[in-house]
Amino acid sequence: MNIIPFKHLDSVPMAFEAKREGALFLGTIVHKKHNIAQLNGTITGNIFIPCDICAEVFEKILEEEVSFFLADGIVHENDNELEIVEIENSVIDLDELFCSELELIKSDYFCCSKCEGTTLEQEF
Ligand SMILES: [Zn+2]
């Protein structure tokens, strides 16, 4: 369990860490106002995903900057540019958040180095 109760958040950023397979999610959560908090983090490490062209599973190195708001309950006004994630039961479940971030990354288009052509292969 990797859970932070919303009411424990403060205007001082709270550090968090979540791990899943070979990937690491590090960052901070800070209370912004009322029922809104902001999460800033980075996802590093690697995941194994199938190539969209040849379907062969390959290692994808992760280097993602993640930033979004967390809302404890319903948000009536959205004057923010960032995405808002509504949390359940007034707790922030970091493992679940990380899982959905990884699913989001996996849903992007990816192809392995063999399918990417010769220009990228020279970098390996
Ligand atoms: Zn491929």
Q: Please write the tens of the pLDDT for every residue from 42-89.
A: 999 999 999 999 999 999 999 999 999 999 988 876 665 678 999 999
Q: How far is it, in rounded angstroms, from Cα 96 to Cα 54? A: 30
Rounded mean pLDDT, 88-99: 96
Rounded mean pLDDT, 103-115: 90
Say what the pLDDT of residue 74 is: 82
Q: How far is it, in rounded angstroms, from Cα 63 to Cα 42? A: 7
Q: Where are the domains of the chain?
A: 3-121
| CA end-to-end distance (rounded Å), the chain | 38
Query: What separation in Å is there between the alpha carbon of 112 and the centre of ligand 1?
Result: 4
Residue 121 pLDDT exceeds 60: no
CB proximity list for 112: less than 8 A, separation 6 or greater: 51, 53, 54, 56, 58
Query: What separation in Å is there between the alpha carbon of 57 and the centre of ligand 1?
Result: 8
Query: Hey, is 7 helix, strand or coil?
Result: helix
Query: What separation in Å is there between the alpha carbon of 103 and the centre of ligand 1?
Result: 20
Say what the pLDDT of residue 66 is: 94
Q: How far is it, in rounded angstroms, from Cα 71 to Cα 86? A: 5
Say what the pLDDT of residue 51 is: 94
Mean pLDDT of the chain: 89
CA R_g for the chain: 17
Q: How far is it, in rounded angstroms, from Cα 97 to Cα 77? A: 23
Give the whole-number percent of the chain exceeding pLDDT 90. 76
Tokens for 94?
């970091």
Query: What separation in Å is there between the alpha carbon of 120 and the centre of ligand 1?
Result: 13
What count of residues does the chain have? 124
Say what the pLDDT of residue 79 is: 64
Query: What separation in Å is there between the alpha carbon of 109 and the centre of ligand 1?
Result: 11
Say what the pLDDT of residue 109 is: 87
The pTM (predicted TM-score) of the whole model is 0.82
Query: What separation in Å is there between the alpha carbon of 111 and the centre of ligand 1?
Result: 5
